[in-house]
Structure 1
Amino acid sequence: MGEAPAQAVETEADEYRQGAPRPLGGYAMVMALFSGVVAVAGGVAAVRGTQQRRLTPYELLLMTAGTHKLARLVTKDAITSPLRVPFTRYKEPGGPGEVNEEVREQGELRHAVGELLTCPFCFSVWVATGFTVGFLFAPGFTRMMASALTAVTGADYLQLLYARLQQAVE
């Protein structure tokens, strides 16, 4: 008859990969963790009745800028590189105060987490979800943290603008 289910899954995964190092098992574990956290938070919100809360436009703006900054801070900042050490290797300097890193290939979970921790676009989903949960359960604290990160985002852009203006004068 046909292949065993596990063998069929592996055959499909190999066909998908086309020889490239795609850590599909690691991705599945990371997605399961994310889905589990969201499910638990959603369940608790439903029991507590907090799922009816809506973000104000101001909170959405704070969350947007705060998500941008926290995602870059975790995935690119030189100071947070110790968090990424088990999953990445240093490659070269990046933007101001940032580094570029390569994902470690060995181990599907290590590789998948490495991709998550080096991609600000990917990590933004996790940060925005964290802010969403924060606004449901601790809106005052979350608003304060998002405000601080938004201020840092604004300061970063002002620093870059200042540096560009200095270069233009020279």
Structure 2
Amino acid sequence: MDNPAQHVQHRYAHGEHRPLGGYVATGLTYAVAAGGLLIAGKRKGAAAETRISASDLALITVATHRLARTLAKDAVTSPLRAPVTRYRETGMPSEVNEEVAPEVKDRPLLHTIGELVTCPFCLGQWVATGLVGGHVLAPTLTRLVTSTLTAVAGADALQFAYSALQRLEGSDEG
């Protein structure tokens, strides 16, 4: 184990498979993408003191939640995740639970991508960065997208509330 990176990897992982090299690569990719958005915003003339209004921040927040869950969990987006994941079981309504595909576990970058695309919390950072960047670069279009995603999240909440009410009503019959 002459390679210092391998030594750190071995010491860190305690015998578990942790793709540190893949994490480094995705972290650098994120940094480059975020830096690109900053440069694009600067070129567009966005002022350093540009503030996002509370209403836009609320839209971006709810839209981030909805889009991250759609990308990481929805059954209809599973073809996007399938190259690096495997189906494990059904999750919440219209969602699936997946895991990193065994055949990519020894490929650090693909393993990391598999972890990223199955984790709505992990994707949230990437989605929020894209939506905030979109708000600076194309605010009208981004408001349309965030408003749509926020409406879908609201509709999801109403569906869950309706289902809960039906279960309560059904439990009184007895």
TM-score (norm 2): 0.92
Distance in structure 1 (CA, Å) of the matches to 2:95 and 2:38: 35
- Per the TM alignment, residue 32 of structure 1 is displaced from its structure 2 partner at its CA by 1.1
- The aligned residue for residue 129 of structure 2 is 129
1:58-97 residue CA offsets vs partner (Å, 9 max, x unmatched): 0000000000000000000000000000111000000000
- The aligned residue for residue 19 of structure 2 is 23
What percent of counterpart residues are identical? 43
Distance in structure 2 (CA, Å) of the matches to 1:89 and 1:39: 33
Distance in structure 2 (CA, Å) of the matches to 1:86 and 1:76: 15
**Which blocks of at least 5 consecutive residues in structure 1 are unaligned?**
none
Distance in structure 2 (CA, Å) of the matches to 1:55 and 1:100: 34
RMSD of equivalent CA atoms: 1.3
With over 3 angstroms needed to count, the CA separation of the structure-2 counterparts of 1:107 and 1:162, relative to structure 1, is same
- The aligned residue for residue 4 of structure 2 is 8
Q: Give secondary structure in 1 for the equivalent of 2:98.
A: strand
Q: Give secondary structure in 1 for the equivalent of 2:76.
A: coil
- Per the TM alignment, residue 109 of structure 1 is displaced from its structure 2 partner at its CA by 0.9
- The aligned residue for residue 165 of structure 1 is 165
Q: Give secondary structure in 1 for the equivalent of 2:75.
A: coil
Q: Give secondary structure in 2 for the equivalent of 1:92.
A: strand
- Per the TM alignment, residue 13 of structure 1 is displaced from its structure 2 partner at its CA by 1.5
Q: Give secondary structure in 1 for the equivalent of 2:160.
A: helix
Distance in structure 2 (CA, Å) of the matches to 1:21 and 1:36: 26
Contact persistence 2:40–2:137 (CA under 8 A): no
Amino acid at match of 2:114: G
**Which blocks of at least 5 consecutive residues in structure 2 are unaligned?**
none
1:11-61 residue CA offsets vs partner (Å, 9 max, x unmatched): 112100111110111111111111111112112222332143211000000
- Per the TM alignment, residue 134 of structure 1 is displaced from its structure 2 partner at its CA by 0.2
Identify the match of residue 36 of structure 1 among 26, 32, 40.
32
With over 3 angstroms needed to count, the CA separation of the structure-2 counterparts of 1:46 and 1:152, relative to structure 1, is same
Instruction: Please identify runs of 4+ aligned residues in structure 1 that moved more than 4 A.
Output: none
Moved more, 147-156 or 36-45: 36-45
TM-score (norm 1): 0.94
1:156 equivalenced with 2:140 (yes/no): no
Q: Give secondary structure in 2 for the equivalent of 1:21.
A: coil
Distance in structure 1 (CA, Å) of the matches to 2:47 and 2:126: 18
- The aligned residue for residue 80 of structure 1 is 77
Contact persistence 2:72–2:123 (CA under 8 A): yes
